[in-house]
Every structure is written in structure tokens, then in C-alpha cells.
Amino acid sequence: MQTPEGLTDLLKLKQIDAFNYEGQNYHTVWKRVYGGQVLAQSLHAAYKTISEDRTVHSLHGYFILSGDLEIPITYSVENLRDGGSFSTRRVTAYQNEKAIFVLSASFQIAQKGLEQHNDFPTQANPEDLISDTDLLKNTSTVSDRVKLHLLARNPFAFEFRPEKDYSYRISPQENRNVWFKLKESVSLSQQQQHEFLAYVVDYDLLIMSIISHFQEEFDQPLQVASLDHAMWFHRPFDVNQWLLFSMHSPNASGARCLGQGSIFDRQGNLVASVVQEGLARPNQSE
């Protein structure tokens, strides 16, 4: 999705009844529904059934089938619980009466408690860095085949600025730090902030799991797809301002890869955490 306004429109759902909604698709060049879209739209559907005094603090989703770009997605929300402090919802996304994605999400009223978080992992300034798109266009260490695949993810409503370019071999033990924010500022509610962040974090996390192989066997085509996704929202944030996505990949095995990420604001506060597992195996069609 190219602009914040376009992303806002994409995440708006047509209401069928109190617990069923319908969403349209962003037509990606890779011919499948973008995982961040169905994740964010599912969160939006859940939010439609939540009282205004509660915001999401965690979500867990499973990608079951690839989405068809030409078919609208129906979102069915189940009210599992409304308690004194927490509400829980389950959302199932359907195409052709088949489930393609399932989300569980928990919402909480604002409460105070203990405070702590991990240290801010960088001293870099995003203003001094180059966009991900320009780095890819200029690098000679990534094969043309892989470069075309990565560039196909753009244009995008968000701008990304990695701290290290693709000529630097990032080992699996290292973190990859990428700054990001909306390309154009737009007024957003707290709910929309959560939905925009859910949309964008699917962009790069699996790439972290295979980036250390860019200069080795990664020249072989890979089939990469999201399998499941989990997020925790810790503190308020603003996607109009620079946020740091610090990622690492603790494991790759069994044709699957695991990515973990921490998202910090410019002041060094940990605002969200993400874990994602994906498919990563040689493309049998090549």
C-alpha cells in the first residue's frame, strides 16, 4: 500500500452484521495477499467489537492458506470473554468458505504496574542512513534474482532505513536494526496505530532469518511464507515518528525459520515485541 491514506482505506471493513465483516485486498506483485494485510484487517475486525476503554496488548495468528487477491476476505469475530480488565476475541478470515487465517487477540483497560524493558540497542540516527530501496539498488552482493524479489515489496506506505547494507554479512547471532516510519504523516487513533504496526512488521522479519545466507546458497530460489505471528504491545507509540525494529533469528531448521523483533521509539522505550515463524525451503517450481 503506497500511502497512509490508502492504508487507512484498506483496513476499513464493510460491516455485514455485529460480528462479521468484509475486507478488500491490496494487489501485491507477488500475486498473494500480503500477510500483514490480513493480520491488520483481522485486528480491525476484533476492535470493532471492543469497548473504547480497551486496547490490544497481545495477538497470535496462524496463516493457514495463501489469500486470493481477487476474492474479498470475510472476517468472523467470536466474543470469547469480556472480563473486568480484559477482553478476548478470536477472528477467522475466510475465502470461498475456507479459513485462510485465524487470530486470537486480548484487549485490556489502561492500568499501571511495574516498569522495565531491554536497553536501546543502537546509537545510530535514521537521518544519517539510506533507504532500504536505495541500498538494494546499489548493492552488488545480492543476486539480481533475489534483488528483484526484495524490490518487489515496494512501493510501500512506510520507509525503511537499515543500519547496515547488504554487503555486510550479518551472522545469525547478530541483530539487524532497521528504522522505519510512515513516508507521510497522518493523524491516527491509538487503534489505528496498532493496526498500522501490525501491518508493517510482517515486511522484514522473515528476511532477517535468511539474510545471513545472501552471499552463500541464498542465490538458490526459496519459497518463503509466514506460518504464524505473535505481537505484544507494551507502550504507546507513533508510526509517524522513527521507530527502530531490532531483529534476530535464533533458529532455522526443518524448512522453517524463526524471527524475533523488538520495536523501540526514538527515546529508547520498548513499545512492542514480535515473533514470527515462516516457511523457508528451496522453491520446487524452479
Residues belonging to the active site: 202, 226, 276
Taking the complete model, does pTM exceed 0.85, yes or no? yes
Q: Do domains 1-111 and 126-286 have the same CATH topology?
A: yes
For the domain 126-286, what is the CATH superfamily, name and number?
Hotdog Thioesterase (3.10.129.10)
pLDDT in tens, the chain (286 residues): 678 999 999 999 999 999 999 999 988 777 889 899 999 999 999 999 999 999 999 999 999 999 999 999 999 999 999 999 999 999 999 999 999 999 999 999 999 999 899 999 998 999 999 988 888 888 776 667 667 767 766 557 999 999 987 766 667 678 889 999 999 999 999 999 999 999 998 877 877 777 666 555 545 666 778 899 999 999 999 999 999 999 988 888 888 989 999 999 999 999 999 999 988 877 665 4
One-letter identity of residue 207: I
Torsion sign, CA atoms 274, 200, 73, 64: negative
Domain limits, the chain:
1-111, 126-286
Look up residue 245 and give its three cell numbers.
525494529
Instruction: State the residue for C-alpha cell 544519517.
Output: 128
| CATH placement of domain 1-111 | 3.10.129.10
Sheet holding 73-82, edge to edge: 14-17, 20-23, 73-82, 86-95, 98-109, 54-63, 222-233, 270-282, 256-265, 243-253, 176-182, 158-162
